[in-house]
Amino acid sequence: MAKRKEDRALERNDDLGYPIFVAQNVRDELLAFLRLRGRPSAILCDANRNVRVLAEEIAQAAGNVPVLRFTLGESRKRLATVERVLDAMVGVGVERSSLVLGIGGGVASDLFGFACAVYMRGVRYAHVATSLVAMVDAAIGGKTGVDLREGKNLAGCFRDPIAVFCGVDALETLPAQAFREGLAEIIKAAIIEGGDLFALLEELAPHPSRRWPWLELLPAAIKVKTMAVADDRLEAGARATLNLGHTFAHAIERASNYSITHGNAVALGLRAAGLLALRTGRFSRDEHLRVLTLLALVGLPLQTSLSPDAIFTAMRSDKKKSGGRLRFVLPRAIGDVEYGVECADRTVRAVLGRLAHPPENVRARR
Ligand SMILES: NC(=O)c1ccc[n+]([C@@H]2O[C@H](COP(=O)([O-])OP(=O)(O)OC[C@H]3O[C@@H](n4cnc5c(N)ncnc54)[C@H](O)[C@@H]3O)[C@@H](O)[C@H]2O)c1
Ligand SMILES: [Zn+2]
């Protein structure tokens, strides 16, 4: 595999008015940033051992900053945890003018970002992203929040961080499943973006993803998100393109009682969106096959034993349906997606029926 951009130690994206740094190791950049913007009053971190080690290192280097650790995971992305975070911040004397640093994956950026948005009506927050999902998706765009009993991400607010730091080094310890979760979102971004990003993924797909040139890939994937968010902060229009595959994915997660993870559901959702686009005359069979091949090569699923009826029922109650009608984001081509598309129920059901069967002509995983 060709080595790329070895000379570029640091990438910086300012599309959203705050810097998103990508480097092999972001420690130096982070410390320089903190020297400029002030010593943080607290570091909030995911209690995961690898994340904790990183947090302790940064805390020491930044001048003995108190580290507050929380056992996270999706089941703890709840208001009760937010309350514990807020209490702990009071305990170490975080003030209205303080800067707080969060470290962890997407659960951490959603939950700590939300806690800092409401703590004393808002303290400055910067996030060190340690998972692929946090780097390319969750930590960017200002959506923060927690889950309620009735569903995921039902309580929260829009609040931008003052900076995001993505260190490729952190990915080395990321568990395989968490890694795949991120790959699903990156493939989604590549379908939206098309061009070089999709072609690069096709070239890399046969190689183990941990060895991909992340210093090049992360900024490209982040760019897709920042461009969609920049013009549409509150998700009134174009930001919806980021939901490609997600109307199906959310329903699949719910119908499986969350035994199918978000990333796996996104892969199935991308297949379903492609099928729906094919059936409604939008997408070419050849490009659909390229998408499926990419998903299969990185080990994402294309088939589920869930009943199509159960998925359809879950879809009907999806919170993203607007005006009581289901709307889809569908590809017209790799690099050209359309949002707000309404489709006949029977066509949607037919597509869901196909998910029970393997796709034809797709190469098996390496
Ligand atoms: N706000 C948004 O716009 C947005 C977008 C996408 C996803 N999300 C949210 O992100 C969450 C999923 O994010 P995630 O996949 O990062 O989950 P996560 O934060 O739970 O991290 C996954 C697992 O990896 C561990 N981990 C994190 N970094 C590690 C590292 N460097 N080394 C070893 N282990 C590490 C975590 O402890 C956890 O066990 C979901 O709650 C989802 O709703 C939010
Ligand atoms: Zn997603």
Distance from C-alpha of 341 to C-alpha of 325, rounded to nearest angstrom: 10
Ligand 1 site, residue 170, Cβ cutoff 6 A: yes
Distance from C-alpha of 139 to C-alpha of 128, rounded to nearest angstrom: 9
3-state secondary structure the chain: CCCCCCCCCEEEECCCCCCEEEECCCHHHHHHHHHHHCCCCEEEEECCHHHHHHHHHHHHHCCCCCEEEECCCHHHCCHHHHHHHHHHHHHCCCCCCCEEEEEECHHHHHHHHHHHHHHHHCCEEEEEECCHHHHHHHCCCCEEEEEECCEEEEEEEECCCCEEEEEHHHHHHCCHHHHHHHHHHHHHHHHHHCHHHHHHHHHHCCCCHHHCCHHHHHHHHHHHHHHHHHCCCCCCCHHHHHHCCHHHHHHHHHHCCCCCCHHHHHHHHHHHHHHHHHHCCCCCHHHHHHHHHHHHHCCCCCCCCCCHHHHHHHHHCCCCCECCECCEEEEEECCEEEEEECCCHHHHHHHHHHCCCCCCCCCCCC
Q: Quick: pLDDT tens for 346-364.
A: 999 999 999 999 998 886 5
**Confidence at residue 323, expressed as pLDDT on a 0 to 100 scale:** 67
Confidence of residue 235 (pLDDT cuts 50, 70, 90): confident
Confidence of residue 2 (pLDDT cuts 50, 70, 90): very low
Q: Which atom of ligand 1 is nearest to the CA of 171?
A: 31
Summary mean pLDDT of the chain = 94
Distance from C-alpha of 276 to C-alpha of 247, rounded to nearest angstrom: 12
Distance from C-alpha of 61 to C-alpha of 74, rounded to nearest angstrom: 30
Average pLDDT score over residue span 98-126: 98
Which one is the CATH code of 10-173: 3.90.1640.10, 3.20.20.210, 3.40.50.1970, 3.40.50.2300?
3.40.50.1970
CATH class as words, domain 176-354: mainly alpha
Say how many Å lie between the CA of residue 105 and the centre of ligand 1.
4
Q: Quick: pLDDT tens for 186-195.
A: 999 999 999 8
Q: Which atom of ligand 1 is nearest to the CA of 185?
A: 6
Residue 243: CA count within 13 A, CB half-sphere:
23
Ligand sitting nearest the alpha carbon of 164: 1
Q: Quick: pLDDT tens for 320-345.
A: 555 678 899 999 999 999 999 999 99
Contact (CB, 8 A) for 112 and 81: no
**Confidence at residue 232, expressed as pLDDT on a 0 to 100 scale:** 81
Ligand 1 site, residue 22, Cβ cutoff 6 A: no
Residue having the nearest C-alpha atom to atom 39 of ligand 1: 73
Residue ranges covered by each domain of the chain: 10-173, 176-354
Residue having the nearest C-alpha atom to atom 7 of ligand 1: 138
Mean pLDDT lowest among 68-72, 222-226, 313-317 = 313-317
Ligand sitting nearest the alpha carbon of 182: 1
Backbone angles phi, psi at 148, to 5 degrees: -115, 170
Confidence of residue 150 (pLDDT cuts 50, 70, 90): confident
Backbone angles phi, psi at 266, to 5 degrees: -65, -40
Say how many Å lie between the CA of residue 270 and the centre of ligand 2.
11
Ligand 1 site, residue 139, Cβ cutoff 6 A: no
Average pLDDT score over residue span 191-218: 96
**Confidence at residue 305, expressed as pLDDT on a 0 to 100 scale:** 96
Say how many Å lie between the CA of residue 138 and the centre of ligand 1.
8
**Confidence at residue 45, expressed as pLDDT on a 0 to 100 scale:** 98
Confidence of residue 365 (pLDDT cuts 50, 70, 90): low
Q: What is the pTM of this model?
A: 0.95
Decide if pLDDT at 7 tops 50. Answer: no
**Confidence at residue 345, expressed as pLDDT on a 0 to 100 scale:** 94
Q: Which residues are catalytic?
A: 121, 143, 185, 225, 235, 239, 243, 246, 250, 262
> Count of CB atoms within 10 A of residue 4's CB?
13
Structure tokens at 355: 């998910």
Ligand 1 site, residue 131, Cβ cutoff 6 A: yes
State how far the alpha carbon of 62 is from the alpha carbons of 148, 200, 319, 356, 366, in Å: 35, 38, 42, 53, 44
Average pLDDT score over residue span 300-305: 97
Q: Quick: pLDDT tens for 9-60.
A: 789 999 999 999 999 999 999 999 999 999 999 999 999 999 999 999 999 9
Average pLDDT score over residue span 163-188: 97
**Confidence at residue 325, expressed as pLDDT on a 0 to 100 scale:** 80
Ligand 1 site, residue 137, Cβ cutoff 6 A: yes
**Confidence at residue 3, expressed as pLDDT on a 0 to 100 scale:** 47
Topology agreement, domain 10-173 and domain 176-354: no
Ligand 1 site, residue 291, Cβ cutoff 6 A: no
Confidence of residue 317 (pLDDT cuts 50, 70, 90): confident
